[in-house]
Chain A
Amino acid sequence: MSQPDFSHDGIRTARGTAFRYLFMLCALLSILTTVAIVATLLIDAIDFFATVSPVEFLTGTRWSPTNDPVAFGVLPLISGTLIITLGSALVALPIGLLTAIYLSEYASERRRAYLKPALEVLAGVPTVVYGYFALVYVTPALDTILPLSTFNALSASIMVGIMIIPMVSSISEDAMSAVPDSLRQASYGLGATKFTVSTSVVVPAALSGIISSFILALSRAIGETMIVAIAAGQTPRMVDLTDPAGMFLDSIQPMTSAMVQIGTGDIVGQGAAYKSLFAVGLTLFVITFVMNLVSELVASRYREVYR
């Protein structure tokens, strides 16, 4: 917006000003939305923390909002979320990164033209459909080779992983495309192969963009709701550190899935069990908000470096 402004708002102001403020109101709506989200979550979360201490909530290792004896420890839910995030990261990060390298360094213009939209489709499929796929196709297929529960973290995290591949690949690819060609040419000049150039020059140079894409994708995995609500089960459990792989074979419950369970009317009245919905929601919001912010800050670094 630094170009000289030759507009004549000064002459015919009334309508121009009116529109200016109308549009500004629209833009400010986004800030209002954020304020409303925080307020909605806080009001009921504060109510909740009046009955259950934040320490108990954040350090408790048992989540049982309705069954006696009730307990509101969020750690089992965070454990569940971590399992899903870890599983989907194992799927999406390497695949997404390799995809980005292929698209940016290897693929011809024509091939890129149909591969990119095809990849975007992965992110466009409604999550309820992925959840259904996980439950009725992926789980039975994997069950033939693994001792899987009907509801398990494995199929759910694979599906979440596939869903977030395009997030990793498109943002990473943007960062790689922004790496100046001179760096590549210099490397080829030294006799490097394309493999070396990709892994030793382009990836390090685009690292902040890649990391930003990783964080953003994982934040999306953490907030993913329907896939886990349908396929991952409703058993809040702490991570068993002696057998972390076993966690994947069994039913778990991430934060989002617990929210759906409370939200679907299993709970009567305005008690702590209902308010816990907002406390969990607040926790989820804070985690994803911080991750998105960090991702944005990391990303803005690479933009500045190569602009």
Chain B
Amino acid sequence: MAADTQEASVDSGFGQISRTKDVAFRLLALAATLIGIVSLAALLLNVAVDAVGWLDWGFLTNPPHPNPNNAGFLPAIVGSIAIMIMIALVTFPLGVGAAIYLEEYASDGYLTRFIQLNIANLAGVPSVVYGLLGLGLFVGLFNIGYGSVLAAAFTVSLLILPIVIISAQEAIRSVPDSQRQASYGMGATKWQTIRNVVLPRAMPGIMTGTILALGRAIGETAPLIMIAAPTTVFGVPNSLLSKVSAMPLQIYNWASYPQTEFQYGVVAAGVVTLLVILLTINSVAIIIRNRYQQRT
């Protein structure tokens, strides 16, 4: 490549060739950027077309059934939402608490760096391993029932906690230091400063990060499989210890049904429902972010 540089500078003829190469490379890079997006768009189009005729009111309000025409998604939708609410209740305070400690209290010492490195590493642990953790810890040690709402929520909470912490840290870090100093200058304590100055300013960012992490949580399947969540659930969860199904889990199980009506109909409807709910969640996060950006 160094040779190209020399050629370009020595002789204009080679420079011409280089410019052709330049254009070709630019197009190649653009094509590479688009190929993933285009492939996904094509697949989404396929699944949307397949879902037509299957995704109807009955599908959204019926319990599952072995006959594809009667099969419904309701318990899985309700289960996913129940798990998600629990996850939000668990991860939000814990994640924000950890982020406040790391950004506002902790000194830049060995322990802090260790915690920070550990959080980064936890974010990269495969979800199926979190499933084993949930199996050992929540189903085993704490005995809160295989495949229960609580076991599922706690397991997935641990999985997304690192993501929540990291995004909350970024939000807190983006609050200008001058504002903290001004608060201290008026005689506020550290806690008052955090509560009255830092958190209100960082909250939109924290909310955005948490909601995006919940989007990740709602699509998780492997941890639920490992804590022995049931194949199918009828009726809605009536307690925190109820067995729970979730949208991705129901999709996984339907994908193994033999009839093509399931493969190219019911499952497609399930996939579209899951993606629409996911899209809604992420849109909420983006709306919060945009409002916040306009204000500052």
**Residues of A near any B CB (own CB < 8 A):** 1-3, 5-9, 11-12, 15-16, 19-20, 22-31, 33-34, 36-37, 39-41, 43-44, 94-95, 98-99, 101-103, 106-107, 115, 118-119, 121-122, 124-129, 131-133, 135-138, 162, 165-166, 169, 187, 190-196, 198-200, 216, 219-220, 222-226, 229-230, 256, 259-260, 263-265, 277-278, 281, 284-285, 288-289, 291-293, 295-296
Q: Are A27 and B33 in contact (CB under 8 A)?
A: no
Give the distance in Å from the alpha carbon of A102 to the alpha carbon of B36 in the complex.
14
Q: Are A27 and B106 in contact (CB under 8 A)?
A: yes
Stretch at the interface among B81-89, B179-187, B232-240: B179-187
Option from A7, A26, A39, A162 in Cβ contact (under 8 Å) with B39: A162
Q: Are A219 and B124 in contact (CB under 8 A)?
A: yes
Query: Considering residues A95, A102, A169, A220, which has the most beta carbons from chain B within 10 angstroms of its beta carbon?
Result: A102
* Set of chain A residues within 8 Å of B125, measured between Cβ atoms: 37, 223, 285, 288-289, 292
Q: Are A263 and B32 in contact (CB under 8 A)?
A: no
Digitize B183-216: 1 where CB-to-A-CB distance is under 8 Å, 0 elsewhere.
Answer: 0110111110110000000000000000000011
Q: Are A193 and B19 in contact (CB under 8 A)?
A: yes
- B267 at interface (Cβ–Cβ under 8 A)? yes
Given A102-B29, A137-B46, A288-B126: A36 and B133 within 8 A (CB)?
yes
Return the chain A residue nearest B264 by Cβ.
A136
Number of residues from B at the complex interface, CB < 8 A: 99
Q: Are A118 and B37 in contact (CB under 8 A)?
A: yes
Return the chain B residue nearest A257 by Cβ.
B128
Would you give the shortest CB distance from B282 to chain A, in whole angstroms?
Answer: 7
- B65 at interface (Cβ–Cβ under 8 A)? no
Q: Are B115 and A28 in contact (CB under 8 A)?
A: yes
Would you give the shortest CB distance from A162 to chain B, in whole angstroms?
Answer: 5
Would you give the shortest CB distance from B199 to chain A, in whole angstroms?
Answer: 12
* Set of chain A residues within 8 Å of B135, measured between Cβ atoms: 40, 263
Option from B5, B47, B220 in Cβ contact (under 8 Å) with A200: B5
Give the distance in Å from the alpha carbon of A224 to the alpha carbon of B222 in the complex.
9
**Residues of B near any A CB (own CB < 8 A):** 1-2, 4-5, 8-9, 15, 18-19, 21-22, 25-26, 28-30, 32-33, 35-37, 39-40, 43, 46-47, 93-98, 100-102, 104-108, 114-115, 117-122, 124-133, 135-137, 158, 161-162, 165, 177, 181, 184-185, 187-191, 193-194, 215-216, 218-222, 225-226, 228, 248-249, 251-252, 255, 263-264, 267, 271, 274-275, 278, 282
* Set of chain B residues within 8 Å of A225, measured between Cβ atoms: 126-128, 221-222
Given A37-B125, A198-B25: A260 and B36 within 8 A (CB)?
no
Q: Are B4 and A200 in contact (CB under 8 A)?
A: yes
Give the distance in Å from the alpha carbon of A226 to the alpha carbon of B249 in the complex.
10
Given A95-B32, A195-B18: A33 and B161 within 8 A (CB)?
yes
Q: Are A129 and B275 in contact (CB under 8 A)?
A: yes
Q: Are B255 and A31 in contact (CB under 8 A)?
A: no
Interface contacts beyond A26-B93, A34-B118, A256-B126: sample of 8 additional A-B pairs, CB < 8 Å, sorted by A: A125-B40, A166-B36, A190-B5, A191-B8, A192-B9, A226-B222, A230-B252, A296-B117
Given A27-B115, A137-B46: A22 and B191 within 8 A (CB)?
no
Query: Considering residues B19, B95, B119, which has the most beta carbons from chain A within 10 angstroms of its beta carbon?
Result: B119
* Set of chain A residues within 8 Å of B228, measured between Cβ atoms: 263, 265
Given A8-B189, A264-B225: A129 and B274 within 8 A (CB)?
yes
Q: Are B1 and A199 in contact (CB under 8 A)?
A: yes
Q: Are B37 and A98 in contact (CB under 8 A)?
A: no
* Set of chain B residues within 8 Å of A99, measured between Cβ atoms: 29, 32-33, 36
Give the distance in Å from the alpha carbon of A291 to the alpha carbon of B121 in the complex.
9
Can you sample 14 A-B contacts with CB below 8 Å? A19-B194, A26-B94, A30-B115, A37-B129, A37-B130, A102-B33, A133-B46, A138-B43, A199-B25, A223-B127, A223-B128, A230-B252, A284-B128, A295-B124
* Set of chain B residues within 8 Å of A278, measured between Cβ atoms: 132
* Set of chain A residues within 8 Å of B114, measured between Cβ atoms: 31
* Set of chain B residues within 8 Å of A288, measured between Cβ atoms: 124-126, 129
Q: Are A119 and B37 in contact (CB under 8 A)?
A: yes
Return the chain A residue nearest B34 by Cβ.
A115
Return the chain A residue nearest B123 by Cβ.
A292
* Set of chain A residues within 8 Å of B36, measured between Cβ atoms: 95, 99, 119, 122, 162, 165-166
Q: Are B106 and A281 in contact (CB under 8 A)?
A: no
Given A98-B32, A101-B29: A31 and B124 within 8 A (CB)?
no
* Set of chain B residues within 8 Å of A216, measured between Cβ atoms: 124
Option from A6, A12, A137, A284 in Cβ contact (under 8 Å) with B129: A284
Given A20-B105, A30-B122: A135 and B97 within 8 A (CB)?
no
Q: Are B162 and A30 in contact (CB under 8 A)?
A: yes
